[in-house]
C-alpha cells in the first residue's frame, strides 16, 4: 500500500509544478468549488495508478490542483464511498496520497441529513466531532508505522483552531453556521425514522455516508482536519416526506454561493 501511494503521488507530482499543502475533499453536489481553482491541472482518477474510480451521480471523479485564494490546493472532485463497494483502504487511499504529496491541512465536505431539529436544509455545519457508525475502520490490519501509530488519538479529530477559524469566518460573512457531531453510516439506504431517533439520542446532529474513514486516515497521518457538512435535507422521519438523492443535489446547488464564499474565506485567512 505504501508503494502504491508513493507511485500515485509521483504520478501526480509529475503533472503539477506546485506543492499543494491544503487538500479539499468535495462531497455530493459540492464539486463546483474545484471549478474556481486557478491555473488548474485536472487529473481524472482513472489515469492515476492504483486509484479506484468514482461511480455515484453528482460526482465527477478527478483531482484538480492549482491556486485558490492564494493557497496551493489539491481538490478531489468526487470521493470514494464505502457503499460503492470499495474497501476502507481504497476509500482512504487518496488521503494517503495527499500526505505523500505534502498536504498538511485537509478540508472534508459532505452533504448530510439534519438530525438536529433546530437545523434547516441549506444550513452549513462545521463538524466538531464524529461517530463512526460504519462498523469498520480504515486502520484495520497491519499498521504501517511510516504512516502513523498503531493506536492514533482521535480526541481532537477535528482541529479546534480550525473550528474556531470557521466560526470567525462565518461571522465575518454574516453566514449562519451550525456546529455539530457528524454520524458516518455506510448507506446506501437512507436511515429509518427509528434509526434517526436513535442517532439523536447518541448525540448526532447530522448523518451521512462518507467523511469518517478519510478523517480517521488523516488523523493517523497527523494532518489537521476541518469538516463542513451541507445539511441537504432533514433526516428520515422528521418531516413527513420521503428522502431522495435529487433533494440532496437540489439543496447543495441552492447553497452553492454560500458554500463557495465560505470555503474561500476559510482559505484566505487560514491560520498557519
Ligand atoms: N442520510 C444519510 N446520508 C445523507 C443524507 C441522509 O439523510 N443526506 C445526505 N446524505
- From the CA of 268, how far away is ligand 1's center (Å)? 30
Is 50 annotated as catalytic? no
- 212 neighbors 132 (Cβ within 8 angstroms): yes
- 73 neighbors 40 (Cβ within 8 angstroms): no
Length reported for the chain: 272
C-alpha distances (whole Å) from 135 to each of 44, 155, 219 are 30, 19, 18
Q: Residue 33 carries which DSSP code?
A: G
Residues of the chain with pLDDT under 50: 58
In this structure, what are the phi and psi dihedrals at residue 168, rounded to the nearest 5 degrees? -70, -40
In sequence order, which residues have a C-beta less than 8 Å from that of residue 160 and are 6 or more positions away? none
- Check pocket membership of 232 for ligand 1, CB cut-off 6 A: yes
Is 83 annotated as catalytic? yes
**Choosing from 5, 81, 116, 219, which is the catalytic residue?**
81
Grid cell locating 91: 476509500
- Check pocket membership of 134 for ligand 1, CB cut-off 6 A: no
C-alpha distances (whole Å) from 62 to each of 33, 39, 69 are 13, 15, 21
pLDDT value of position 29: 82
Report the distance separating Cα 98 and Cα 218, nearest Å. Answer: 9
- From the CA of 123, how far away is ligand 1's center (Å)? 14
SS3 state of residue 196:
helix
How many Cα atoms are found within 13 Å in the side-chain-facing hemisphere of 60?
18
Nearest ligand 1 atom, CA 235:
7
Helix crossing, 212-220 with 88-101: angle to 10°? Answer: 40
Strands (E), 115-262: 124-132, 177-184, 206-208, 224-234
- From the CA of 110, how far away is ligand 1's center (Å)? 9
pLDDT value of position 31: 84
pLDDT value of position 28: 80
Grid cell locating 238: 422528521
Is 84 annotated as catalytic? yes
pLDDT value of position 272: 79
Q: Which of 196, 199, 211, 121 is nearest to 158 (CA)?
A: 211
- 45 neighbors 61 (Cβ within 8 angstroms): yes
Nearest ligand 1 atom, CA 243:
7
pLDDT value of position 57: 53
Closest residue CA from atom 6 of ligand 1:
113
**Helix-, strand-, coil-residue percentages of the chain, each rounded to 5:** 35, 25, 40
Grid cell locating 118: 433546530
pLDDT value of position 271: 85
- Check pocket membership of 248 for ligand 1, CB cut-off 6 A: yes
Amino acid at each position: 500500500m505504501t508503494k502504491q501511494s508513493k507511485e500515485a503521488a509521483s504520478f501526480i507530482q509529475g503533472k503539477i509544478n506546485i506543492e499543494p499543502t491544503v487538500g479539499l475533499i468535495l462531497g455530493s453536489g459540492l464539486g463546483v468549488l474545484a471549478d474556481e481553482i486557478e491555473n488548474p491541472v485536472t487529473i481524472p482518477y482513472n489515469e492515476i495508478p492504483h486509484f479506484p474510480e468514482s461511480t455515484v451521480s453528482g460526482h465527477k471523479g478527478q483531482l484538480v490542483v492549482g491556486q485558490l485564494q492564494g493557497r496551493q490546493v489539491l481538490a478531489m472532485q468526487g470521493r470514494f464511498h464505502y457503499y460503492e463497494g470499495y474497501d476502507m483502504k481504497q476509500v482512504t487511499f487518496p488521503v494517503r496520497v495527499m500526505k505523500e504529496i505534502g498536504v498538511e491541512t485537509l478540508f472534508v465536505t459532505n452533504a448530510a441529513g439534519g438530525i438536529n431539529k433546530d437545523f434547516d436544509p441549506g444550513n452549513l455545519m462545521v463538524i466538531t466531532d464524529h461517530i463512526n457508525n460504519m462498523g469498520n475502520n480504515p486502520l484495520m490490519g497491519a499498521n504501517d508505522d511510516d504512516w502513523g501509530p498503531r493506536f492514533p488519538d482521535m480526541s481532537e479529530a477535528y482541529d479546534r483552531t480550525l473550528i474556531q477559524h470557521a466560526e470567525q469566518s462565518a461571522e465575518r460573512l454574516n453566514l449562519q453556521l451550525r456546529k455539530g457531531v457528524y454520524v458516518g453510516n455506510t448507506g446506501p439506504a437512507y436511515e429509518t425514522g427509528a434509526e434517526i431517533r436513535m442517532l439523536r439520542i447518541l448525540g448526532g446532529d447530522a448523518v451521512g455516508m462518507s467523511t469518517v474513514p478519510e478523517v480517521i486516515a488523516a488523523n493517523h497521518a497527523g494532518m489537521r482536519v476541518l469538516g463542513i457538512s451541507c445539511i441537504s435535507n432533514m433526516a428520515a422521519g422528521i418531516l413527513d416526506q420521503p428522502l431522495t438523492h435529487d433533494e440532496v443535489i437540489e439543496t447543495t446547488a441552492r447553497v452553492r454561493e454560500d458554500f463557495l464564499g465560505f470555503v474561500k474565506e476559510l482559505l484566505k485567512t487560514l491560520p498557519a
